[in-house]
Structure 1
Amino acid sequence: MDTIVITANDYILVLLGDPSLPYPYNPEQRFNAHDLEMVAALRRTLDRLTGWRFELVDDHRQFSAGLAYRAPRLVLNLCNTGFGNHPERQLHVPALLETLELPYAGAGPACMALCHDKQAVTRIAGDLGVPVAVQAALRLSGDISLPPGIRYPAFIKPNFGDGSTGVTPDALVTNAAAARRHCHRLAERFPGGWVLIEHYLPGPEYSVGLIGNPGTDLSVLPPLELDFSGLPPGQPPILTEAAKVAPDSADWQGVALRPAELDSERLAVLRGDVSRVFERLGCRDYARMDYRCDGAGTPHLIDVNPHPMWGFDGMMATMAGYAGHDYAAFIELVIDAASRRLEAR
């Protein structure tokens, strides 16, 4: 029997996380109500877009077999959960799309692998002249011996991964004893892993979104600032893991997003910096970069997310809103950016 291949010029395949599988990123070990609402809002939004036919695929058992029988104009890779809902396997999804030679929106596997190594990103950005935090790497194995030259207060975070994984209020340490205690706690969760110990940057924290591609249509969205004023008294102003995965937590509810207040000179520098980093790391179509300011107000790059969350209330959609784009227009901008890049090959 002949194989039927689904194909059409207006056909876009949308890949999502699998709600039927465990999801270890969330405290509940499964999709929570907020995750399901994001998908529902996406469905409603795609139904409103004209000129395209969308098929949403969230059964990861189809990713290997089912995708081979589809020939979409574009695959919109919104699978931030990683293949099989394993966050460390985010890059496996674009790797599969590459193997199947399917055109897709967003970062490739090499870019994702590079950006998940935070120390590598810091070194590359620093070589480009972008301000970065002073940091040292430490492996969480055996007798934990802190590297020399640490200046306190310091901030400790896992080197690999994203989503503020492993970041708790205790990540901000004021002395060596506290640093060792926190590293031992992280070693229990990430045995043999690597952490970065950074000089703490006490100023505001910003996020900068980009849509498009270098040399053609790369656009920097108006940055946002994280407002930590709603956190419990005495809690440090840092974005913890709970602030991203636990909607009922004080960390989630205590952090708000607001437009960043930056003077024109600093904003111009920031736009130039993120554009160079975007191109150097091989980001495509859309990405988000996070900054934290030192005591003098100078923004320092702290993270690059080449595969940022796409939800209606997320940072990317919020910054698109600052630029006058509603959620539907934000999704269309990503689709258009990928389409133009692929057509130019």
Structure 2
Amino acid sequence: MVKITENRRRIAVLLGDPNMPDPVKRGGMFNPEDINVVNRLKKALNKLQGYEFVYFDDHKNLKGNLRDFNSSRGGYALNLCDEGFFNLPSKEKDIPLMLEELGIPYTGAGAECMTVCYDKSLVKELAEKEGIPVPKSYHLGKDSLELKLEFPVIVKPSCADGGFGITQKSIVNNNKELKSAISDLRKEFLYKGKIILEEFLQGNEISAGIIGNPPNCHEILPLIQEDYSSLPENLPKICGYESKWLPESPYWGCSKSAPANLPEQTRRIIEEDSLRLFQNVGCRDYARFDWRLDSSGNPKLLEINPNPGWCWDGHLAKMAGIGGISYPQMLEKILHAAEKRIFNSVLQ
């Protein structure tokens, strides 16, 4: 293995653009808490030895600025732009496409993997082909259909991030509520894509995180589960748009994460299937997998996050913390995983 002998490796850190609208965030824009998240990131990265970090968040001039970076002094990109190019989730894949065009190596998944995982219906199809259990579901186009469903059902967009379009009204128990939830998704969230009608599982929500690159150089972080014990009993137990973006909602601050309390066999199934999916869909360096248990305790895959939230209080950081890994150490592990994959090298 080649040793990198430069004093510091130069890293381009790609972020969302705080000066542009963001359709997912509260009020459709970056808020003080979002700026605080970025500041905490910078503080954590500054603790790492052997790196020089250069931050890029001006999306209108991103390509030109990255071209100048690439021609200056080597390095690679830390792609933390989970908002997507121009803060549009549907353009999340455009960032790796741009980096590849410019010849800049980067952390995380490529465009093809991001495209597949952005569409939850495609993820379900791939998982089913691998024999990995998923909730029963139906997919709607632009118009609703008369379907015979087993309630309760959760209504959610097939292509969206950050809990977009998922509220307490998304859990429906009859056809009247179903039509109302579909109408809300179309009119209130202005969502025009495919809709998933999915059986609403009653068990715990479980998240699995992987850092590294299987099969030989990776670690599975401790599994976590959502704790809804402080949520009013009349509300469905979900971590949707309200819990992430609406401080006035009863969901705000009610969802906490705790180490997953699972039978060993269930834990093994989630870990092994997550590893298999990581490789089969083309994840790289780090990823998160969201599961939910049915009423019998059987895990079913909900979605794959190949470019998961990296913030200090996000699910990945919580899993790392339970495993004794600090926030700066987690970021460093992601960097080292990318370096081993890209350069087959380590910093001295």
Cα distance in 2, alignment partners of residues 83 and 192 from structure 1 = 19
TM-score (norm 1): 0.93
- CA deviation string 1:79-117 (max 9, x = no partner): 111111222211111111011110000111111110011
Amino acid at match of 1:42: L
Amino acid at match of 1:223: L
Amino acid at match of 2:111: P
Amino acid at match of 1:111: C
2:257 aligned residue: 257
Conserved 8 A contact 1:140-1:183: no
Cα distance in 2, alignment partners of residues 8 and 97 from structure 1 = 24
Alignment map for 1:1-345 (pairs within 5 Å):
10-71=9-70, 72-141=74-143, 144-148=144-148, 150-188=149-187, 189-190=189-190, 192-247=192-247, 249-344=249-344
Q: Report SS of the residue matched to 2:251.
A: helix
Check 1:191–1:339 CA distance in 2 against 1; reply closer, same or farther (3 A cut). Answer: closer
- CA deviation string 1:299-325 (max 9, x = no partner): 100011111110000000110111110
CA RMSD after TM alignment:
1.7
1:3 aligned residue: none
Q: Report SS of the residue matched to 1:201.
A: coil
Cα distance in 1, alignment partners of residues 28 and 79 from structure 2 = 22
Taking every aligned residue pair, what percent have the same amino acid on both sides?
35
What is the number of residues matched between the two proteins?
Answer: 336
Cα distance in 2, alignment partners of residues 67 and 192 from structure 1 = 33
Cα distance in 2, alignment partners of residues 248 and 226 from structure 1 = 20
2:3 aligned residue: none
Conserved 8 A contact 2:157-2:191: no
| Long gaps (5+) in structure 1 | 1-6
TM-score (norm 2): 0.92
Amino acid at match of 1:224: I
- CA deviation string 1:119-163 (max 9, x = no partner): 11011111112111010101233xx22333x11111111111221
Q: Report SS of the residue matched to 2:336.
A: helix
Q: Which segment is superposed worse, 215-224 or 319-328? A: 215-224
Amino acid at match of 1:311: C
Q: Report SS of the residue matched to 2:54.
A: strand
Amino acid at match of 2:125: R
| Long gaps (5+) in structure 2 | 1-5
Cα distance in 1, alignment partners of residues 247 and 100 from structure 2 = 35
